[in-house]
DNA sequence: CGCGGTGTTGAAAATTGTCAATAATTGTGG
DNA sequence: CCACAATTATTGACAATTTTCAACACCGCG
């Protein structure tokens, strides 16, 4: 299933894969399941796959067979227009689900590229469907995950549609920080997994604009930038930048 | 449930509402259902509601209870940021489903405003869930609808992230035409249901830019513009504009 | 140690936004 | 049905932001 050679399956049983034991459970799985239900839901994970940095978990156009839950690592998803345009549609980290775009046409509609060595749980969509029919909480959970993605994209549209460069980047950083913090990382330090160009693609900006805006933030004492290492010195300032009135359409 | 007074329920039985008889069936409903299944799926529509032009079918923050299928009329959905920013996230027409954003948090995450007098089918989400558990085709259909919305938003991100004004507007027009044509309308003429400002909000442009770009297209003989009445003179030219290489990030 | 990919910065150009004036259209109430 | 008010649309001149092009610096890795 994976597009590139570096991805290789791991026998699920062998490594005792079990959502019920997974420390990402609260992020991936529905809460409030009974022990029996929990055990059954464990069964949706058919395998675990390693994906090397730079390789693709799936590509646009490939047959869609499964959703993927990220266990470790960091991904970007991007769509390519016919004319070669390329747009990063999101960055995904541990506990997040990718592949939802493939359901509608039974083919993936974007590429998922690992930005660092990663490991994902393969959840065959057929199996999810069967189990969701029996476990109501799982059914609702699947709906919630898809709805969440829709709402997330609304937020991106707000960003792309009406914000200026500094507002976009501030919103992006706050979002990243929030998600990282929810996973136990520092509230003030982070290492970017993506290039300036990828950030720019996601935010609808050129890489130079991203770089300049980082420099501006650094000059204002809001953040500290050393290549991909960032330190947030003044989170409140970032919030003020996002909420500033100018630059909306 | 509706936010504004002008929306009033219609007794579903009285007007013999039935998906099985609806001429939008192919757009709304799964295909290949058995007669019995079809009859049961009819049951997801609890009522029909009329929504007057300018009033809201639902608002951000309201409790989410149902999805809505548009029978007639035209809607926009928009999100409002805390600071008063407003972003149109989509335009919806007959046969399309709105409200998906509400599932994740049990509250609507955007406003749905009727841009012309409309009539919608109310489909309580509880009931959809129950029935989806029994009718596999319905379950898959719900997944497909949500996935389709995710993919649609990817397209919008491509548009907002990397296209110039004329490319955005050309893509917008082509998309509208295609959807209208699928509903039996002319392939070359249309009446816009929304203002320049609403188009601009959707496309991440100011209304003046939208107006100017319309004028430019008209000057180039690509379209004819008389206020909201449009005639597409040269669809191929619009395609060429969308596919032109420049202006991507 | 050097090379390729990545990041920074400057100056000029292009695109889009802002402000403002006017026109056209639609809705409303007499 | 008409007239007036309010909304919507068009257009111009100018300003602001972002992009483009280019040069150079910095890692990281073989």
| d(CA A3, nearest CA chain B) in Å | 21
pLDDT > 90: what percent of chain A?
77
The answer to whether B78 contacts chain A (CB < 8 Å) is no
Model confidence at B7: pLDDT above 90: no
**CA angle in degrees (0–180, nearest 5) for A59-B26-B145:** 40
The answer to whether A226 contacts chain B (CB < 8 Å) is no
Model confidence at A190: pLDDT above 90: yes
Q: Kindly report the average pLDDT of chain B as a whole number.
A: 91
**CA angle in degrees (0–180, nearest 5) for B27-A111-A189:** 120
Question: pLDDT class for B85, splitting at 50, 70, 90?
Answer: confident
pLDDT at B13: 46
Strand D interface, protein residues by Cβ within 7 Å? A 164-166, 204-206, 208-209, 212, 226-227, 246-247; B 192, 195-197, 207-208, 210-212, 214-215, 225, 227-228, 246-247, 249
Question: pLDDT class for B246, splitting at 50, 70, 90?
Answer: low
Contacts of B124 (CB under 8 A, 6+ apart): B44, B46, B65, B66
Residue B158 has its nearest CB partner, among A79, A101, A249, at: A79
Contact between B187 and B230 under an 8 Å Cβ cutoff? The reply is no
pLDDT at A18: 80
Q: Would you call A161 and B162 a contact, using CB atoms and an 8 Å cutoff?
A: no
pLDDT at B5: 45
Q: Is the CB of A247 under 7 A from strand C?
A: yes
- Which residues does residue A147 pair with via DSSP β-bridges, in sequence order? none
pLDDT at B247: 52
Q: Which of residues 186-225 of A touch strand C (CB under 7 A)?
A: 192, 195-197, 207-208, 210-212, 214-215, 225
pLDDT in tens, A154-189: 999 999 999 999 999 999 999 999 999 999 999 999
List the single residue in A with minimal CA-CA distance to B210.
Answer: A249
pLDDT at B18: 81
pLDDT at B6: 46
C-alpha to C-alpha distance for A81 and A95, rounded to whole angstroms: 28
Task: Average the pLDDT over A108-125 and give the result.
Answer: 96
Tell me the residues of chain A between 166 and 225 that have a Cβ less than 8 Å away from chain B: 200-206
Range name among A66-70, B2-6, B17-21, B84-88 with the lowest pLDDT average: B2-6
pLDDT at B230: 97
Q: CA of A85 vs C1' of D11, distance in Å?
A: 33
pLDDT at A4: 47
pLDDT in tens, A213-224: 999 999 999 999
Question: pLDDT class for B101, splitting at 50, 70, 90?
Answer: very high
Residue A133 has its nearest CB partner, among B110, B139, B155, at: B139
Contact between B133 and B41 under an 8 Å Cβ cutoff? The reply is no
Give contacts of B100 with chain A, Cβ < 8 Å. 146-147, 150
Site from B86, B154, B241 to mutate, A interface, most A CB atoms within 10 angstroms: B154
C-alpha to C-alpha distance for A90 and B120, rounded to whole angstroms: 33
Q: CA of A235 vs C1' of C14, distance in Å?
A: 34
pLDDT at B244: 79
Residue A157 has its nearest CB partner, among B105, B153, B249, at: B153
pLDDT at B1: 44
Question: pLDDT class for A7, splitting at 50, 70, 90?
Answer: low
Q: Would you call A129 and B151 a contact, using CB atoms and an 8 Å cutoff?
A: no
C-alpha to C-alpha distance for B142 and A224, rounded to whole angstroms: 46
3-class DSSP state of A132: helix
Question: pLDDT class for B10, splitting at 50, 70, 90?
Answer: low
Q: Domains, chain A, ranges and CATH?
A: 8-158 (2.60.120.10), 164-243 (1.10.10.10)
The answer to whether B81 contacts chain A (CB < 8 Å) is yes
Kindly report which amino acid residue has its CA closest to the C1' atom of nucleotide C9: A212
Model confidence at A28: pLDDT above 50: yes
Model confidence at A12: pLDDT above 90: no
List chain C nucleotides near protein: any atom < 7 Å from a Cβ. 6-11, 15-20, 24-26
pLDDT at A20: 86
C-alpha separations of B126 from A142, B84, B122 in Å: 14, 33, 12
pLDDT > 70: what percent of chain B?
91
pLDDT at B23: 87
Range name among A105-114, B75-84, B187-196 with the lowest pLDDT average: B75-84
pLDDT > 70: what percent of chain A?
91
DSSP string computed for A61-111: TSBP-EEEEEEEEEEEEEEE-TTS-EEEEEEEETT-EE-GGGTTTTB--SE
Residue B204 has its nearest CB partner, among A133, A161, A203, at: A161
pLDDT > 90: what percent of chain B?
77
Question: pLDDT class for A124, splitting at 50, 70, 90?
Answer: very high
């Amino acid at each position: 299933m994976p597009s590139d050679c570096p991805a290789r399956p791991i026998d699920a049983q062998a490594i005792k894969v079990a959502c019920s034991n997974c420390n990402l459970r609260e992020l991936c799985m529905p809460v409030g399941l009974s022990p029996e239900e929990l055990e059954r839901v464990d069964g949706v994970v058919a395998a675990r796959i390693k994906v090397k940095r730079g390789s693709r978990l799936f590509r646009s156009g490939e047959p869609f067979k499964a959703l993927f839950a990220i266990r470790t690592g960091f991904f970007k998803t991007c769509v390519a227009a016919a004319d070669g345009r390329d747009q990063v549609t999101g960055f995904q980290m541990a506990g997040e689900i990718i592949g939802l775009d493939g359901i509608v046409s039974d083919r993936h509609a974007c590429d998922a590229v690992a930005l660092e060595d990663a490991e994902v749980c393969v959840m065959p969509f057929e199996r999810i469907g069967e189990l969701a029919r029996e476990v109501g909480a799982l059914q609702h959970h699947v709906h919630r995950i898809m709805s969440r993605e829709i709402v997330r994209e609304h937020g991106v549209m707000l960003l792309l549609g009406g914000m200026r460069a500094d507002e976009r980047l501030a919103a992006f950083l706050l979002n990243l920080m929030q998600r990282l913090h929810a996973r136990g990382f520092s509230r003030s330090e982070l290492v970017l997994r993506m290039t300036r160009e990828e950030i720019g693609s996601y935010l609808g900006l050129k890489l130079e604009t991203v770089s300049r805006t980082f420099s501006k933030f650094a000059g204002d004492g809001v953040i500290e930038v050393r290549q991909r290492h960032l330190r947030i010195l003044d989170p409140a300032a970032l919030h003020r930048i996002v909420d500033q009135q100018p630059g909306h359409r």
